[in-house]
Amino acid sequence: MLTFLGENYYIDVEELEGRVNLSKEFIPSGETDQQISVVKFDIYKNLIDVILTEREEMDENLGIHNSNNLTIPFKIAFNTLLINNIIKKL
């Protein structure tokens, strides 16, 4: 496990799938294929990409104080995914 900001996090794929699936009211009756919101999918995809490609070096001994070195896109992506329950603490 990698510790980040004093915690272990993971991407909840089931939650992500639930967030991008269209609700039943938007799916034409009789359709059996999975229907997703392309906009939501693309946004979540880009946010996860930002999280996974962050290149800033972090000293874990500094803990939360080291979070000032993170980029603004990383902070926004991480917080957005955390608030939407896509990233969860282990």
CB 80 within 8 Å of CB 5: no
Task: List pLDDT tens digits, range 10-50.
Answer: 999 999 998 998 776 666 666 666 788 899 999 999 999 99
Question: How far, in whole angstroms, is CA 76 from its chain's centroid?
Answer: 10
Task: List pLDDT tens digits, range 41-90.
Answer: 999 999 999 999 987 665 555 555 556 778 899 999 999 999 999 999 98
Q: What b/e string do you get for 43-68 counting C-beta neighbours within 10 Å, with b at 16 or more?
A: ebeebbebbeebeeeeeeeeeeeebe
CB 89 within 8 Å of CB 78: no
